[in-house]
Amino acid sequence: MAKIILAGGSGFIGQILAAHFIGKGDEVVVLTRGGNRVVNNVRYVNWNAETIGNWVAELENCDVLINLNGKSVNCRYNNKNKKEILDSRVNATRILGEAIRMVGTPPKLWINAASATIYRHAEDRPQDEYTGELGKGFSVDVCKQWEAAFFEQDTPGVRKIGLRIAITLGSNGGVMPYYFNLAKFGLGGRQGNGKQYFSWVHEHDLTGIIDFLIDYKELEGIFNVSSPNPVQNHQFMRVVRNVMRTPFGLPATKWMLAIGTRLLGTEAELVLKSRWVVPTKLQEAGYVFKVTYINDAVKLSSL
């Protein structure tokens, strides 16, 4: 039995991982801003993701620390939200580094979440860990500072892996309820020109990849966590319509998305940026994907 700590593990990805590790018989501790409690054999421990506290003791003799902390980017990018998005990621990463240096027996492996949106808008070629080009703008700047805060932490003897995670698809939350509702109400057409790429990973592979990285102790550094088969937006929306059995879907033009996302309190960039990301390093290391095609991923997410 391993001890797994999920920092900021109360969200969609954190709950996927908590259920996965509990299912394997591991001890799971979630560091949360909520109160101390035990739910479904997962122990929740309070922290504020900014300062040292009693939670540091949990790191002693921990096997794996996975940091997922960060304010959701599904919001308007005003100054207040921008500051919270950046600070929640950078501050949590730095305080975890400080905490690791305080314990006698630190975690064997520290995995820090990052985002595949760090790459530029790409419609011409795929972006991988070797030849991918980093983009510009607020979201990319957050990703750069987040990764820098992680790799600058001096934690001798602790293996470190940064995960540039694509949009995660699953059956209990995430983005799929949004897309299913669009199709249900006849709005499941292409978004923008529909040519932008949609890089994704199914929850079965997210857990599989993390298990793989835990087991293969020679692996470290940055890894793209995404299916080897990204699709364009118009292809993705067609699959969503097919799964929902709605043959027709009104398209959403760029100006319609600008208005709609403002009314919904989010940003059009989240659907219009072309994320053409591929997992070269994972495949070189020998990871075999369980859900390789978008049809299967969307079907599984609808169950």
From first to last of the 303 residues of the chain, give the pLDDT tens digit. 999 999 999 999 999 999 999 999 999 999 999 999 999 999 999 999 999 999 999 999 999 999 999 999 999 999 999 999 999 999 999 999 999 999 999 999 999 999 999 999 999 999 999 999 999 999 999 999 999 999 999 999 999 999 999 999 999 999 999 999 999 999 999 999 999 999 999 999 999 999 999 999 999 999 999 999 999 999 999 999 999 999 899 999 998 989 888 888 989 999 999 999 999 999 999 999 999 999 999 999 999
Q: What is the pLDDT of residues 190-214, one digit of tens each?
A: 999 999 999 999 999 999 999 999 9
Predicted confidence at residue 260, as pLDDT, reads 86
Domain 3-171+200-226+278-290 top-level CATH class: alpha beta
Determine the Cα–Cα distance for residues 246 and 171; give it in Å rounded to an integer.
19
| DSSP per position, 146-214 | HHHHHHT---TT-EEEEEEE-EEE-SSSTTHHHHHHHHHTT--S-BTTS-SEE-EEEHHHHHHHHHHHH
- Nearest-Å Rg of the Cα atoms of the chain is 19
Q: What is the pLDDT of residues 228-275, one digit of tens each?
A: 999 999 999 999 999 999 989 999 999 898 988 888 898 999 999 999
Strand partners, 27: 3
Predicted confidence at residue 64, as pLDDT, reads 98
For the chain, what are the domain ranges? 3-171+200-226+278-290
Predicted confidence at residue 131, as pLDDT, reads 98
Helix, strand counts (H, E) of the chain: 10, 12
Strand partners, 224: 164
The terminus-to-terminus CA distance of the chain in angstroms comes to: 30
**Other C-beta atoms lying within 10 Å of the C-beta of residue 290:** 14
C-alpha distance from residue 291 to each of 10, 197, 235, 295, 303 (Å): 25, 18, 17, 9, 15
Write out the two tokens for 130: 């070797």
154 CB contacts (<8 Å, ≥6 apart)? 97, 101
Determine the Cα–Cα distance for residues 145 and 138; give it in Å rounded to an integer.
11
Q: What's the mean per-residue pLDDT of the chain? A: 97
197-198/200-202 β-pairing = unpaired
64-67/42-46 β-pairing = unpaired
